[in-house]
Chains A and B, each alone.
Chain A
Amino acid sequence: MLGKERTPGVNGIVSGKQFGVGYEETPASRVMLLRGELDLSAAAYFRSIIEPVLAQFDKTLVFDMRDLTYMDSTGIGIVIFALKARADHPGSFRIEQIPGKIKRLFDLTGISRFLDGAGDGGR
């Protein structure tokens, strides 16, 4: 697991929906397994995790969102950041297993048009 647990919030209360990132590597891809809530409090951490990987072009970078329970414009901003970083290498980045409620945000904002072949996992 790459994912640090989010530091306790106010008065030590920790949300049960903390953001975290798991990691799997296959011969062809590096898969980031996103889980929990990707909101403003998780954005800096997530960027710090992906920045070094975004510059490695020997394998396809995959964000697997099946366990992501929440995302807003903060997360969409990071997806744009990743898309731009991989834009010169077609096919080097994709998003898989997008939950329905997040797919809806992708469609509403128009980011879907940059995500060719992004599977929605039927959800």
Chain B
Amino acid sequence: MEPATVNLTIPAKADCIDVARLALYGVATRMGYSFEEIEDMKVAVSEACNNAVLHGYGEEIGRIELTFEMLEDRLRISVADDGGGVPSDLRVPRQSPLLSGSLSEVEEGGLGIFLMQALMDEMEVNLRQSGTEIVMTKYLPQPN
């Protein structure tokens, strides 16, 4: 497949995130990902958008810019906002925040970012002067 890029800009509103999922579905289906891989990517992309909606902007409704790069062996997804973004001391947890401790102790904070890294092959958070960019990659299965 020829490399191609799909760009999508949506309002940073909760009820627009399903549009990002629909776009991801279209792109990933075209590239030949399995049902399970697409489901994983739907959650990861939604979590990145959730982050932009919840932490990116205050009262103002900003924009989320999604870039889907359809490469030969992988799909590279960038989810960027130009809002307040995530705190600069953000860490990407390697373990789910729900895996240790009793029920009364567990908190769901950090769950979204954990899921992004757990469901994708690569994931990085770029803090920019204005806003945040989350870049996630999923490789296509190698042909036998």
Q: Which A residues form the contact surface with B (CB < 8 A)? A: 6-7, 9-10, 15, 17, 37, 39-41, 43, 70, 72-74, 76-77, 80, 83-84, 87, 101, 104-105, 108-111, 114
Contact = CB atoms under 8 A, between A and B. Distances in A.
Interface of B: 11, 13-19, 21, 36, 39, 42-43, 46-47, 50, 53-54, 96, 98-99, 103-104, 106, 108, 111-112, 114-115, 118-119
Dominant SS at the B interface?
helix
User: Which 5 residue pairs spanning A and B have beta carbons closest together?
Assistant: A110-B99, A41-B14, A77-B108, A41-B15, A110-B98
Contact of A76 (B42, B53, B108, B119): B108
B104 A109 contact: no
18 contacts: A37-B18, A39-B14, A40-B14, A40-B53, A41-B13, A43-B14, A70-B21, A70-B42, A73-B50, A73-B111, A73-B112, A84-B103, A87-B103, A101-B39, A105-B115, A108-B115, A109-B111, A109-B114
B52 to A, nearest CB: 11
Dominant SS at the A interface?
helix
Contact of A87 (B11, B43, B104, B111): B104
Contacts of B112: 72-73
Contacts, number: 79
A41 B49 CA distance: 12
Contacts of B46: 39-40, 72
A87 B36 CA distance: 33
Contacts of B50: 39-40, 72-74
A72 B20 CA distance: 14
Contacts of B11: 10
B58 to A, nearest CB: 17
Nearest to A114: B103
A9 B115 contact: no
Contacts of A84: 103-104
A41 B42 CA distance: 15
B18 A15 contact: yes
A72 B18 contact: no
